[in-house]
Every structure is written in C-alpha cells, then in structure tokens.
Structure 1
Amino acid sequence: MTVLYLDTPVGLLDFCQQIQNSSWLAVDTEFLREKTYYPQLCLIQIANDDVIACIDPLAIDDLTPLFDVLYQPKMTLVFHAARQDLELLLMHRQQLPDTIFDTQLAASVLGLGEQVGYGNLVKTVLNVDLDKAHSRTDWTARPLSTAQLDYAADDVRYLRSLYHQMQQSLTELNRTHWLADDFAALSDPQTYQADPETIWRKIRGAGKLKPRQLANLQQLAAWRERNAIQRNRPRRWILKDDVMLDLARFAPDSLTKLSQIRGLEPRDIDRHGQAILDVLEKASQIPKADWPVMLKPEPLTNQQEALLDALMALLRQFCDEQAISPAAVATRKDIEKLVRGETTIPLLKGWRKQIVGRKLQAFLQGKLVIHADAKQLIINEVE
C-alpha cells in the first residue's frame, strides 16, 4: 500500500474527506522532546484499512481539518502506548478524544506481556520483524526520505491488524469491558497535568532528606517546574535533580555559598542564582507544621511478610488460570499495600478486582483456604 506524504493544506483536506466516515483510525506520532518541556510534534501517521498517510505538521500550520475528524464523537482512535501521543493531542486541541483503544493495555489482559513494546507485539501477534534502522531519526529534519516515511508508516500499518485481532480476542474471551477504566483514564486531562506543588515527590533521593530539607526541595521543584513550563525547556536545563537535592540539603544563603554546590555551574548562578536564593528564603519561612513529609511505612512484621508471600502465590495462581502476566495485575508493592489495609489501589478496581483483587480480599477475610499437593496449589472456598 502506497504511503501518502501530506505537506500541503489541500492535500490534508482531501485526505480528511477520504477518512471522515471511518469508525476507527490507527494513530501514531513522531516528536522531539530533548530541548523542550513540551514535546514538539514532527509527524502524524494515520491509517485505516484502505489508506496510510504521514502528515507533516512542520509544513502545515492549520491541522484543524484533521482534528475535526479525529475528534468525531463516534470515532475510535487506536494507539500503542498512547500517553505521549495523547499528550500531544491535548496540547494542540485542549481536549482529548472520547474513545481510545490502546494495544499495549489490551496486550496486558490478553496474556501478551506487561508494557510490551510495539515491535515485540507485532512479532508475537503477526510474526513480522520491524525495521529498526531509523529509530534514531531526527524527525525535525527535512526532507524525510522514503525509507524514513516507510519506517514511520509501519507504526500504523501493523497497528490496524493488531487492533482487529485483539478486538476479536477480547470479545471471544469476554474481556472487552476489562479495559474500560484504563481507557477512560487515558481520556482524562488530569492524567497529563503535572502539579508544581507535588512534583518534588517524583525526585529520586527525596526520601533521604529531613522534613526541613523537604520544604526546601518542595519550593525549589515548584519553582523549576514553573520556570521550565514558562520557558519551554527541559527541567534538567533549569536545574538538575542532584543539584537541587544538594541545594535543599545545604540551603546556601549567598551567591558565594551557591558557588560551592557541586554541579551548579557559574552560568547557572549568573542566570538563576538570585532566584534560587529567593526560593530558599521563602522556604525558610514555612512553619514547621507545614513542612512536607515523605511517609515511610513501618517495616512489615514477619507474619505480614509471610502473608505477603502467600498473596503473591495466589496472585500467580489466579493469573495463570486467566493466562495473564501477574505483573499486568499487581506488583509486590501493590500486594504489600493490600497487606497494610490500603484500599485505593489499582488491584481493587475494575478488571483487576474482578479476576484477582476480590479473591485476595476473600483470602484475607478467611473465606478462602489453600493447601497443596506435590504439583500445585489447591484453593477452596470456606463453607
């Protein structure tokens, strides 16, 4: 099938008229994020059963005709690992499509692997080896070669077949409804919005700081996030994580002391030095009662560890019965939270609760008992 390369408004409009009556469309994007906070959209690949197109957003200023088609109420958009593609759509349209199908999520409930890559999924399901020669392409460079466009088109060429086969498998196994909550989360704008006030919790190493130092880190991280958004620059270009941790730990109060922070370059001090000092001064005024806390749960007791091991064995047993990878349902940390009595965890929502979560709860409530023979676990309900 010939791949259309669309780089004019007229060509885009003609294509949109051709696909507007589709009930579904396979979608992928190429973007660059190395030098910006927000991803720069470089190419959009679209396909249905009849046509494949690569649309050049660097050449076409107004993508409204395309978005009008993608956002039709009854249109299903098919992605693989949809989050970054949807983030781009949200940026450009300020809303998200209503109906989404993600083949990576579908793979997890079909026993094809947790967070499986597109190439591996195509190989497993379709027995096709994808060309990886252009995986490091600079998608901002023009012109794009025929080989580069074919490589990009493969991301939707085989997505069509994956969609059809996985839809059929989900229907046959009566698992289509399992994915409703996961797909709905992808359509929620809150999924893609970073909160400057809580972004500090994602910084590796924050758990080693004292509460006073965490207050510094919270203010520094919020300042960096707003600065990165305003300037559209990567966070690390504003302030690296390890430097920010040292700033939070030592709280320098002068430009001279700032210069003693390892990794903080003179140009960084010239550009941001006074702003950093102002942020740290603001943090020093936060009352002790308002210092953030990195909650560290108490270690599990020996009995709780034994219970955790039993629940992990049950998890594997129940997932084996459904031919699903246990990692797609719950991690050991999820099970640990269950042992601690937490209820707001993915394991106790949607399809995960139906096939495993409620059974693990039943075991904790004494409603299931387990014993074994030489080959397997045997699970019985308590009468």
Structure 2
Amino acid sequence: MIETTKALEEACSTLAKSDFITIDTEFLRESTFWPELCLIQMASPDLEVIVDPLAKGIDLKPFFELMANPSVTKAFHAARQDIEIIFHLGDLIPHPIFDTQVAAMVCGFGDSVSYDQLVQKIKGVHIDKSSRFTDWSRRPLTEKQLDYALADVTHLRDIYITLRDELEREGRASWLKEEMAILESRNTYDLAPENAWQRLKMRLRKPQELAVVKYVAAWREREARSRNVPRSRVLKDDAIFEIGQQQPKDTEALGRLRTIPRGWERSSSGSAIVEAVNEALALPKEEMPRLPRHTPTPDGAQAAVELLKVLLRLTSERHGVAAKMIANSDDLDRIASEGENAEVPAMQGWRRELFGNSALKLISGGMALRFADKKVETVEF
C-alpha cells in the first residue's frame, strides 16, 4: 500500500497521464456522521495502486488534485458515496466522472445493476466476496483483503471501456452526461441543515407541525455533524414527529413525550429542542412550510397509469434501457393526471424523446396498444 505523501505524489503523477482512471473507496460510517475513509483504490491501463489514508503523516493533496484534473475521466461504480467522501475531505467534486452503474442502466443491463453482476456479464469472472465485510480500518490488512479491494478497480477498467464504447456506438453518450451533471453538482452533497426535514418520510401535514419538524431536524443535523455521530444517536425520527405533533413549549412538556428518554429533557439538548420549537411556533403563518397540495386523480387516470406501465416496459425492451432509468411510478402518475404539464424527468431531455412523447400520445388517444403475434405492440393513429 502507498503510505507516504511522496509515493502518492508519484502514483498520482503517473495516473494523470492516462485519459481515464478507475476509482473506489472503502470506508466505515456505522458510528459516525461523516464516513471514515479507510482505503483508496485507483487504476489506469498501466498502473494499479492502493492508498492508505490512515497512514501516519500522509497528505492526500495529490489525490485531490488528481480528482480535480479535467483531463482525466474518473470512472466509479455507484459513485455517490465515494464522491460524498471526497467532497467532505477535499471540498471538491471529481470532474469529469463516469458512473458505470448509471451507464449500465442506459445500456440495458437492468435496474441498479451491481458491480459483481457487471463483472460477471462483461468479463465472465466471478468475484470472491469473502472479504466484503472487512473492517477496513484495521491494520494490517491481509493480502487476500487487498486483492479483493484492488479487484474493485481492475475489472472496472474493462467495464468502463465496454460501456463507454457502447454509449458512443448507440449515440447515448449525451444521455449519460445529463445524469453525471447531477452527480457533479455540489448541491447533491452540500445539504443545508435547514433542508434536513425534507429527507424525512413525512407523517404530518399542518404548517405549524411542519415548522416544528423543520427546526428540530435542522438542530439535529447540526448537532450530528458537530459531534460526528449518526443522526439517530442525537434524536430518532419518531421523536421529531412526536415533537412536531405535540409542540412542547417547555422542558416539562418535552419530558412527558413517550419518545424522549426519562431525564433527557433536563439536558442541554432538551433545552435546545424547546428553543427550536418556540422559534418555529413564532414564525408568521405565511412563512411556515407547506407540503405540495395533492392534486385529485382524474377519473380514468389509474387505468391510464396501467397503460403507461405497459408502454414503459415496451420502450425499455425496445431500446435496451432500464425502465427505472426512463421513468418511475411518480412520473407515470403525474403524466396520467397532468399530461403535458407534468414537470417530471420523464418529460425532459432524452427521456421525453424516448418515452414522454409516446406517453402523451397514448393518454390522448393518438396511440393504442394491441396484442398481436403473442406480443404487445403500439399502433399510432
């Protein structure tokens, strides 16, 4: 393993001469808010390296400079968590990037295909998974563990080349660029505490309740980050919802809630939550958050959704693109209800060309589905 800054500089200098590199990370985050980076694996056509970010005195600056190098494409598989780590530690987003999981969906390998599956389908190789649950923070790592870690980037070279060439051959490289723009956006990773409530599976709807949930969730987010512990260790989601519903204005009222441990209301955290509740309740009504109003489903819309599901499957099979990549169930519901006015990904960019325009024709009567020769097909009028 690379354990010194000088060795890392030399490796990154060599890797930077390639048009592309493959990259993967191993990390732990069971007991922390921020993932703990334990290993970095990188490979170009000519070099394979493993970096130990836990090595004493190592400076990862050469690695971050490589991640920012616009001349080198960084190929990941399921890139989001790897990029989140790089963003947190280096305050940058790797660019340009190529996510082989997304590319595989565009190329028809199915929904959210795993790395193991791609290696098997493209290279015909079965990966030994026995080291999958390694504690990557422990040292020393065995040769078997290091071989397993390195395989995550060595096979990825062939997968990247295969998918890149397939996208170019099918004229779909621009489709992937649209998806990579989302992964390369700082907004994907730099989530403001004030927006933390939007990640919760909301059970409440009243503006006053939502305001309390928003303020308490923001406090929890800041607390979890500052202490570097999982959100649930600060306050569980169920407690946030009960606080939003009951709106305790003092510590005594907070202590009566079922989800609050006995005595916890007398802590500094209890006082901070009560303060957050009172701040939320002091908001003018017009500034309190609101959930989007649910548009009543028009008569016949559910039947239209069922037809759109069939059309989506036909489109997926015909063009060799994973259905999940084209549209999701919410897209179909909104297209059936709102038609041309549906502001969903399936009605934008390449998805509209592939599916959205046909979906509009189907629900407006300009297209039909029929069963002929033991298969379903579309008929345009």
Alignment TM-score, normalising by the size of structure 1: 0.92
Q: Could you tell me which residue of structure 1 aligns to residue 34 of structure 2?
A: 38
Matched, 1:337 2:345: no
TM alignment of 1:21-170, pairs within 5 A: 21-59=17-55, 60-170=57-167
Q: Secondary structure at the match of 1:216?
A: helix
Matched, 1:229 2:225: yes
1:113–1:328 CA contact under 8 A, matched in 2? no
Report the CA distance between 1:375 and its aligned residue: 2.5
Alignment partners' CA distance in 2, 1:355 and 1:67: 38
Per mean C-alpha deviation after superposition, the further-off stretch among 320-329 and 45-54 is 320-329
Q: Secondary structure at the match of 2:162?
A: helix
1:207–1:294 CA contact under 8 A, matched in 2? no
Report the CA distance between 1:52 and its aligned residue: 1.4
Compared CA separation, residues 267 and 158, structure 1 to 2 (3 A): farther
Alignment partners' CA distance in 2, 1:151 and 1:225: 35
Q: Secondary structure at the match of 1:207?
A: coil
1:191 maps to amino acid: T
Q: Secondary structure at the match of 1:136?
A: coil
Alignment partners' CA distance in 1, 2:140 and 2:377: 63
Structure 2 residue aligned with 1:196, among 179, 186, 193? 193
Moved over 6 A (4+): none
Report the CA distance between 1:301 and its aligned residue: 3.4
Alignment partners' CA distance in 2, 1:299 and 1:129: 50
Report the CA distance between 1:297 and its aligned residue: 1.6
Compared CA separation, residues 232 and 267, structure 1 to 2 (3 A): farther
Quote the RMSD (CA, aligned, Å).
2.0
Q: Could you tell me which residue of structure 2 aligns to residue 220 of structure 1?
A: 216
Q: Which ranges of structure 2 fall in alignment gaps of 5 or more residues?
A: none
Alignment partners' CA distance in 2, 1:90 and 1:201: 21
Per mean C-alpha deviation after superposition, the further-off stretch among 210-219 and 251-260 is 251-260
Per mean C-alpha deviation after superposition, the further-off stretch among 33-42 and 358-367 is 358-367
1:179–1:351 CA contact under 8 A, matched in 2? no
Report the CA distance between 1:82 and its aligned residue: 0.5
Matched, 1:294 2:291: yes
1:77–1:100 CA contact under 8 A, matched in 2? yes
1:6–1:12 CA contact under 8 A, matched in 2? yes
2:291 maps to amino acid: M
Alignment partners' CA distance in 2, 1:360 and 1:156: 40
Report the CA distance between 1:12 and its aligned residue: 1.4
Q: Could you tell me which residue of structure 1 aligns to residue 244 of structure 2?
A: 248
Alignment partners' CA distance in 1, 2:67 and 2:292: 43
Structure 2 residue aligned with 1:182, among 162, 179, 184? 179
1:258 maps to amino acid: L
Q: Secondary structure at the match of 2:37?
A: strand
Q: Secondary structure at the match of 2:193?
A: coil
Report the CA distance between 1:362 and its aligned residue: 3.4
Matched, 1:7 2:3: yes
Alignment partners' CA distance in 2, 1:254 and 1:52: 59
Q: Could you tell me which residue of structure 2 aligns to residue 324 of structure 1?
A: 321
Count of residue pairs the alignment pairs up? 377
Deviation readout 1:20-47 (Å, 9 max, x if unpaired): 2111000001112222222221111001
TM alignment of 1:336-355, pairs within 5 A: 336-341=333-338, 342-355=341-354
Report the CA distance between 1:258 and its aligned residue: 2.2
2:16–2:72 CA contact under 8 A, matched in 1? no
1:209–1:249 CA contact under 8 A, matched in 2? no
1:16–1:65 CA contact under 8 A, matched in 2? yes
Report the CA distance between 1:115 and its aligned residue: 1.2
Alignment partners' CA distance in 1, 2:61 and 2:122: 35
Deviation readout 1:141-195 (Å, 9 max, x if unpaired): 2222212211111110111111111122222322222211001221111111213
1:36–1:234 CA contact under 8 A, matched in 2? yes
Alignment partners' CA distance in 2, 1:305 and 1:29: 44
